[in-house]
Structure 1
């Protein structure tokens, strides 16, 4: 049952998704914190916390909390707080003290937070909204009682952990994707299909763009850094879930090699974090689906997992939670128009396109929602969860624009609506670069590459063949993307940098820039342009465009991401050719 509960709280916890931990024994130990009869609980009270936590950091308060009955522990006491610099960190949280770090005998508050999220996602602990505390569930007590004498997981612990994973919808989603035609998928291929598309909290790095960037990168250290660090939030979730499933024997990690064509060359590129399902994984899917002699497992869903990014997070969580409630209660099926009406009665007005995307997102987090005769049905059984109505907030301007554009993007995947979030988040600048290049090369028919790095533009695109066939010159564009929270004013320093790139391409002198980035333009390109892309532009940016045009005798433009999405949609709809796009963007 999904219950609407008028709870008063100002806490906005991030539950339902986990990025960091993968040690199953440590997860069991964290769960054991909440069982007063467990050896781990006793060790924490009598030795671990007295040894690791100083009096000034709340040692006595942590021990007092652990000795209270019934045992309900607040989030702050579990996770602790951060220290700056991190090298000077001291232990000040119960979960910090429970898990040994790689260097120190305790972990930091970020890792502790993720262990709490993990235990909650697996339904080993429950959350109390009214006082921001956690307590153990019956499943959690079962896991603690299954503990053996040594550090190795017992057979019973493994079975209980597997059952918990199969009750966690995103883990089921990963298994289903891998089971589809016995797929072999990388974290990027999984991440692209995990979560709510077109949203800043569920980003996936475009694998095709990354592969081309890796193929042209010469420095091994740069290659290793890209492979290790370049990923979106959904890619991280997919990687972590796959790691859990691998430890439970349900999937296996198998590197995947791609042949990447760039101009006349083909480069092999291997992604190490790729996965395949095992025979045990197929059996587990039968269990979660209730096939054969297996009893169908109920699913653990929480309000917080329905959106992760700040801004519209509480509005989106509330909308999607009500949406799920209405579908789950409609045994005869329910249509999108009926869902819009029922949401409106709850004070949640939205367009049908947003509801359709939300339903796709609910499927992408692992819920089994089916459609027949334009009616939706939930085939899963859900464990109870609450909708805390006091959190409802209005839509932001970005979310309002997204709803409007869903109706406009008739030929373009709504995953690209995520560019509207990325364009205003400076922390996501690289992903904004990559997704913009994906938009232009995969959806708009341009050839091109993401470049980035020292003394290179963010990327380049160019036309090929099509323009030759219609008797037009092939052209190239130097791309510079800018992710800024308040829009972009195009300062003189950035205009000067673009002038340097234009000059380097015009002179093509290795003495000026030895990396010769301009060689990535294809043969036959005879005219060049430049383009700035941002959420929106402000100030006297056009004066800088005019100055560059005059100084370098070249045409350029500044285009908002909304404008670019509309132009690409029109190209895909057959309304524009590349030549038309050139005229439209560069104002001929």
Structure 2
């Protein structure tokens, strides 16, 4: 049953998705904190907290929290707080003391938070909205009672952890993707199909663009860093969940050789974080889906896993939670208009394409939503969960912009709507750069490369017939982009370097990313929107170099991309529209 409770809270914590921890024994220890009869609980009370936590950091308060019966502990006491710098951190949370860190006897607040999220996602602890506290569930208690001597997991613990993974929708989603025709998928290929595509909280690095960037990088150290550290949020989730499944024997990590062909060139690189499903994984997936003699396993879903970022994430969570509630209460299924009408009754007015994307997103997080004759049916069994309804829900201007663009797209995949979020998020500028190049090369038929780094533009693209090339610079700013004089000068320098092509001026020779036969060039800025005197500065570059240029807001670029993808305009039309003479 999905129930609704009214709350005065404006924001809620982030649950349902985990990026960092992978140690299964430490997860079991975290769950055991909530079992008053466990050895870990006794160790915390008698040794760890007195030894690791000073009185000024809350020793007495934490011991008092552990003494409650039944054990029910508030989030701040569990996770603690951060210190700056982190090297000066002191232990001030129960879960910090429950897990040994690297080089010290405790972990910080961030890994403590992630271990708590993991225990919650696996259904071992329950969250109480009314007082921001957690307590153990029957499944968690069964896990702690299975503990035997030694640090290795016993067979029963592994069974219970596997059952918990099969009740966690994103884990089932990954098993399902890997089970399709014996797929061998990298973290990027999994991440691209994990979660609610088209928004900032579920981003994936474009693998074809990455492969071309790797091919243009000579340093082995830099290549390895790019392969391991460059990823979107969904790629991180995919990597972490796959590591759990690997430790449970459901998946194995096998490097994959990836080949990309673009502009008549072939690029091949090996991605180490790639995965195959095992025979045991196939058996467990079938069990999770209720195939053969097995009953379908009830999925653990929480309100917070339905959106992770954005100023209006509570609105997005509520909208998707209500859709899930409507579907769970319907035996014959519901049409898109019927779902939109039900949302409107809750004060959530949405167009058909937004509802359709949300239904696809529910499948993307690992829930089984099927469609037949225009009716959508939830075929999964959902464990009870709560929709904590805030006093007011309001859609952000960015979500409103995405809804307007979404309704106008006819050919472009909706995953590119995430570019609207990224255009205003300066912390993800590299991902914005790479997704823009992917948009041009994978959807619009251009050839091109992501460059980035010092003394290089963000990327270059060339028309398929090599009639023109474009120097592309992307700018992600939360309040729009005004093209400061220094960055206008930087673009002018790139334009001149491309005209002269003198390695004595710039030894990195970034212009070689263009095909040598391209006869004419232009420059392009892409951002969320533009402010101030940017037009005058673009005009100055044009007059100074004789090379045409322009600035495109991301919403306009997405609409142009849809026109190109559908064939309604050509690449020559695009040039004339964007760079009028």
Deviation at 1:10, TM superposition (A): 4.7
Deviation at 1:262, TM superposition (A): 5.6
User: Which one of 480, 498, 509 corresponds to residue 516 of structure 1?
Assistant: 509
Change (3 A) 1:10 1:97: farther
Describe the superposition over 1:318-354 as per-residue Cα deviations: whole angstroms up to 9, x where unpaired: 0000000001111011101000111101111110110
Asked if the contact 2:158–2:248 (Cα under 8 Å) also holds between the matched residues in 1, the reply is yes
Match of 1:558 in 2: 551
Describe the superposition over 1:10-40 as per-residue Cα deviations: whole angstroms up to 9, x where unpaired: 5520000000100000000000000000000
Describe the superposition over 1:380-410 as per-residue Cα deviations: whole angstroms up to 9, x where unpaired: 1111001111254211111111111111111
Match of 2:483 in 1: 490
Matches of 1:215 and 1:519 in 2, distance apart? 13
Asked if the contact 2:262–2:447 (Cα under 8 Å) also holds between the matched residues in 1, the reply is no
Asked if the contact 2:445–2:464 (Cα under 8 Å) also holds between the matched residues in 1, the reply is no
Match of 2:571 in 1: 578
Match of 1:386 in 2: 386
User: Which one of 452, 463, 472 corresponds to residue 479 of structure 1?
Assistant: 472
Instruction: Show the 5 A alignment for 1:190-209.
Output: 190-209=190-209
Match of 1:66 in 2: 66
Q: Secondary structure at the match of 2:171?
A: helix
Matches of 1:391 and 1:59 in 2, distance apart? 36
Deviation at 1:9, TM superposition (A): 3.0
Describe the superposition over 1:37-87 as per-residue Cα deviations: whole angstroms up to 9, x where unpaired: 000000000001111111110011101110111211000000000000001
Matches of 1:241 and 1:290 in 2, distance apart? 21
Q: TM-score, normalised by structure 2?
A: 0.99
Match of 1:109 in 2: 109
Moved more, 386-395 or 406-415: 386-395
Instruction: Show the 5 A alignment for 1:56-205.
Output: 56-205=56-205
Change (3 A) 1:98 1:405: same
Matches of 2:304 and 2:264 in 1, distance apart? 48
Match of 1:426 in 2: 426
Asked if the contact 2:200–2:310 (Cα under 8 Å) also holds between the matched residues in 1, the reply is no
Asked if the contact 1:318–1:392 (Cα under 8 Å) also holds between the matched residues in 2, the reply is no
Moved more, 533-542 or 569-578: 569-578
Q: Secondary structure at the match of 1:479?
A: strand
Matches of 1:334 and 1:218 in 2, distance apart? 54
Asked if the contact 2:196–2:362 (Cα under 8 Å) also holds between the matched residues in 1, the reply is yes
Deviation at 1:221, TM superposition (A): 2.0
Change (3 A) 1:267 1:439: closer
User: Which one of 520, 523, 526 corresponds to residue 527 of structure 1?
Assistant: 520
Asked if the contact 1:314–1:392 (Cα under 8 Å) also holds between the matched residues in 2, the reply is no
Deviation at 1:225, TM superposition (A): 1.4
Deviation at 1:263, TM superposition (A): 5.2
Match of 1:8 in 2: 8
Q: Secondary structure at the match of 1:533?
A: strand
Match of 2:359 in 1: 359
Change (3 A) 1:391 1:413: farther
Matches of 2:496 and 2:301 in 1, distance apart? 55
Deviation at 1:436, TM superposition (A): 0.3
Deviation at 1:268, TM superposition (A): 2.7
Asked if the contact 1:508–1:518 (Cα under 8 Å) also holds between the matched residues in 2, the reply is yes
Work out whether 1:504 is the aligned partner of 2:481.
no
Asked if the contact 1:452–1:458 (Cα under 8 Å) also holds between the matched residues in 2, the reply is yes
Matches of 1:295 and 1:540 in 2, distance apart? 64
Asked if the contact 1:205–1:231 (Cα under 8 Å) also holds between the matched residues in 2, the reply is yes
Asked if the contact 1:217–1:223 (Cα under 8 Å) also holds between the matched residues in 2, the reply is yes
Asked if the contact 1:215–1:260 (Cα under 8 Å) also holds between the matched residues in 2, the reply is no
Instruction: Show the 5 A alignment for 1:29-428.
Output: 29-261=29-261, 265-390=265-390, 392-428=392-428
Matches of 1:86 and 1:270 in 2, distance apart? 35
Matches of 1:296 and 1:529 in 2, distance apart? 57
Q: Secondary structure at the match of 1:525?
A: coil
Q: TM-score, normalised by structure 1?
A: 0.98
Deviation at 1:267, TM superposition (A): 3.8
Describe the superposition over 1:278-334 as per-residue Cα deviations: whole angstroms up to 9, x where unpaired: 000011011111122222211000000000003110000000000000011110111
**Unaligned stretches of 5+ residues in structure 2:** none
Asked if the contact 1:202–1:232 (Cα under 8 Å) also holds between the matched residues in 2, the reply is yes
Match of 1:471 in 2: none
Asked if the contact 2:548–2:579 (Cα under 8 Å) also holds between the matched residues in 1, the reply is yes
Deviation at 1:524, TM superposition (A): 1.6
Asked if the contact 1:314–1:391 (Cα under 8 Å) also holds between the matched residues in 2, the reply is no
**Unaligned stretches of 5+ residues in structure 1:** 468-473
Moved more, 388-397 or 52-61: 388-397
Asked if the contact 2:189–2:207 (Cα under 8 Å) also holds between the matched residues in 1, the reply is yes
Matches of 1:268 and 1:434 in 2, distance apart? 18
Change (3 A) 1:314 1:11: closer
Asked if the contact 2:209–2:438 (Cα under 8 Å) also holds between the matched residues in 1, the reply is yes
Matches of 1:264 and 1:573 in 2, distance apart? 23
Q: Secondary structure at the match of 1:152?
A: coil
Asked if the contact 1:450–1:459 (Cα under 8 Å) also holds between the matched residues in 2, the reply is yes
User: Which one of 527, 537, 543 corresponds to residue 544 of structure 1?
Assistant: 537
Asked if the contact 1:441–1:461 (Cα under 8 Å) also holds between the matched residues in 2, the reply is yes
Q: Secondary structure at the match of 2:468?
A: strand
